[in-house]
Amino acid sequence: MDISIIVPLYNEAESLPKLYEWIARVMKENKFSYEVIFVNDGSTDNSWEVISNLKSQFSDDDKVIRGICFRRNYGKSAALYCGFKAAQGNVVITMDADLQDSPDEIPELYRMITEEGYDLVSGWKQKRYDNALTKNLPSKLFNATARRVTGIQLHDMNCGLKAYRQDVVKNIEVFSEMHRYIPYLAKNAGFNKIGEKVVQHRKREFGTSKFGINRFVNGYLDLMTLWFLNKFGKQPMHFFGLVGSLMFFIGFIAAIVVGAMKLYALSNHVPAMLVGVNPYFHIAILMMILGCMLFLAGFLAELIIRNSQSRNDYLIKEEL
């Protein structure tokens, strides 16, 4: 099979027939064998009924309509994870169900994967029709931060329209709300040839957006989580041990300084407060205790990782 198209959706019943007809026309014009996997993320409208009707009407040997229906709304990451697991095509395309992603982009995305050798190609909606204040500006700030942290020079990392080599989707795990950072997950898994293509952004025809402004706050926190896991996930002692050692050392030096100042005052018969009531002494002791706790946290984390780590964590490209 040439292409698997994964469409995560939540309450998009009105868009689905038109979206599938558009996909089918593009696939027929380019003579692709394909499957469309609709992942119904706990919709409360009749999206699942629409998917069932499409399957009964249009599935045949050259094209397959598949559906996955969650019992409740789990989020886009969960939908993509299940879609990736079910995909059978050599190239996997993801796109949103709201008709803001154009299926006409699929042939060129497919070509970039199969002919130019990209592992992943991300869409870039250079010209957008969203609200400039609530979406465009926060999106630009978000993507600038993501480029800085991840080192991946994509203008629109969170674009729903992406193409993947099948190996990529089978070797990454999309969890929590990490669908925003799939290129970073792919890079961390060893897939380094990541490209970008300018794609058309269309105005929403039906319904309303399912994403609020809170996604930018959550996205920033998720980015920090991914960065930390990639940097220190396998060697937590490198972080906790270093920070803990520095805190203990600074606290120890501070305690010595407080004690030396007290001894100096006593030797020169100069009045000085008791060490036990000196606030700097308590701060120094607190830093030493926190330093020890951080060091022990890193040590215990290392023990847990060493005991739980499996050789299955290593991704093998090929064998002879």
- pLDDT (tens digit per residue) in 191-233: 999 999 999 888 777 766 655 566 667 777 778 887 887 788 7
Task: Using alpha carbons, select from 18, 23, 1 the residue that is nearest to residue 87.
Answer: 1
Handedness of CA 17, 19, 20, 21 (dihedral sign): positive
Same domain, 203 and 264: no
pTM of the model: 0.76
For 288, how many CA atoms within 13 A lie in the half-sphere containing its CB? 13
Q: Which of 200, 232, 264 finishes a domain? A: 232
Would you state the structure tokens that stand for residue 303, as one six-digit string? Answer: 């023990």
Interatomic CA distance for residues 57 and 60, integer angstroms: 9
Interatomic CA distance for residues 46 and 174, integer angstroms: 27
Q: What is the mean pLDDT of the chain?
A: 87
- Where do the H-state alpha helices sit in 173-213? 182-188
Same domain, 225 and 249: no
pLDDT at 79: 94
Same domain, 184 and 248: no
Q: Tell me whether residue 320 is in a domain.
A: no
Percent of the chain whose predicted confidence (pLDDT) is above 70: 89
- For the chain, the first-to-last Cα distance in angstroms comes to 26
pLDDT of residue 94 exceeding 80, the answer is yes
Same domain, 174 and 301: no
Q: What are the angstrom distances between the C-alpha of 33 and each of 16, 28, 60, 90, 122?
A: 20, 9, 11, 10, 22
Interatomic CA distance for residues 120 and 24, integer angstroms: 23
Same domain, 79 and 216: yes
With beta carbons less than 8 A apart as the criterion, state whether 202 and 102 touch.
yes
Same domain, 138 and 274: no
Instruction: State the total domains in the chain.
Output: 2
